[in-house]
Each structure stands twice: as structure tokens, then as C-alpha cells.
Chains A and B, each alone.
Chain A
Amino acid sequence: MIKVQKQKINISEENKKLLKKKIGAVVNFIGVARPKNSSGKIHYIEIEHYPGMTEKKIKEIEVYVTKKWKLNNCIIIHRYGKIKPGENIVYVGTAAQHRNNAFKACEFIIDYLKVKAPFWKIEQQKNKKIFVKSKKKDEKKIKINY
């Protein structure tokens, strides 16, 4: 299941959906907005996305990882809009028969979301707006092109 939403992610509700199935392992990744970066305090971040393309790209990765790591279930939720420090930004939940597959799939999904899904972050500081740049090391991690 995938979702692109403005509101906060209810993590325990999402985990309940994964734990319903009779599986051996559930892995979570939760991305959280940072309160500061190297140049100072962040008041909030703003995430923009490309409606239509975003859902398509996340769906592609859901289908890919489910098959590759034989997942029983997979939930990917990414927020957009204004997000305050400490709030969740992204949730990835993977459920599999064995922990190794659940871990690998979860890590792959979040690496993918960083550089292959059409989201852009802005960090709002007191008097300036910073358009966050992608990191080369993140781009190198994902070699698959869809």
C-alpha cells in the first residue's frame, strides 16, 4: 500500500496492518524532520511533489521490492507540505517471513525514495529558504533505473 499525504502518519495504526498477517518479521523506517542543519535552526521544512508521477514511482518500487524480497506486505507513506521539526516525514514498513528480507527491502525503499521519487525539500530558517540539494552518495546507492 502506498500513500502520499499532508497529514501526520499514524505509525501504530500502520504497524497494526503489518502485524495482522502471520509473518516472521516486520521492519520499520521512520524519517523525522531535523531541528537544525549546518547553517542553523530550521523552523519547518516544506516538501513539494509531482502529483501523479509521485504515486506512479512509489508504486513501481512497491511492486519491485515485494517481488524481489518476497514480502508479505509493504507500506510506503510519504508526506508533503509544511512539516515541523520532530514530525514524521516518511514511513516504510516491510513484512516478510524472515528478517533479512524485511531489512533489505526496507533499506532499499528509503534509499530509492531519496533520489528516485519526485519530492523536493525546502528548509525554512529564520530569514532564509534553503532548497535542499541531493547528495551524490545517495544517488550512487540506487543503480536501478525504472
Chain B
Amino acid sequence: MKIIYFSWLKETLGTSEENVRPPANIKNIDNLIKWLSAKSTKHRKVFLKSKSIRCAINHQIVNKSSKIKNKDEIAFFPPFTGG
């Protein structure tokens, strides 16, 4: 599973993407956030602000109860500031 980070999340983590293999009991975005938070102190720092973090699965905006699959590309980012 490919995880991509943008904006301050990328800056805090020091990386823009990572490939992960979560265990079978990680079934949705909320589970994934909890699992990723335990990976490192940097991950924990990022996901402490999970209420202000948005998520997309394969380029589609989703909510935190959305189901995930092994081949998904999952992106985490703050609200958009284009224009």
C-alpha cells in the first residue's frame, strides 16, 4: 500500500511517501491512522492532528470509515488552499 503525504505532514515526517504492509485487521482509514501513528514519534506527531487531516483513496476524497485495500494509493493532507 502506497501512502503519500502533502504540505506540513510531509515536512513533519521528512518524507513524501512510503510503502507499507498493514496487518489484516487494519480495514479502514481510521484503523490505518492509528496503526501509522505507532510507527514513529514523527508519525504520532502528525496524526495527533488527525481531525484537521483529509484523506483520499486512489484520488477520491473519502472519510475515515472508508475501507482500504492493499493496492490502494492513500494520501493524507490538510484542507486545500488553491486559487
Contacts and interface: CB of A to CB of B under 8 A. Distances in A.
Given A52-B59, A133-B81, A120 B75 contact: no
A56 B59 contact: yes
Interface of A is mostly: mixed
Interface residues of A, number: 29
Contacts, number: 68
Given A120-B6, A120-B77, A114 B59 contact: no
B23 interface: no
Contacts of A114: 80-83
B26 interface: no
A3 interface: no
A81 interface: no
Interface string B9-27: 0010000000000000000
B6 to A, nearest CB: 6
15 contacts: A48-B6, A50-B56, A89-B83, A110-B83, A111-B83, A114-B81, A116-B80, A121-B81, A121-B82, A122-B7, A131-B11, A133-B78, A134-B80, A134-B81, A145-B61
Give the 7 A-B CB pairs with smallest separation, nearest first: A119-B82, A114-B83, A134-B79, A53-B59, A120-B7, A113-B83, A132-B81
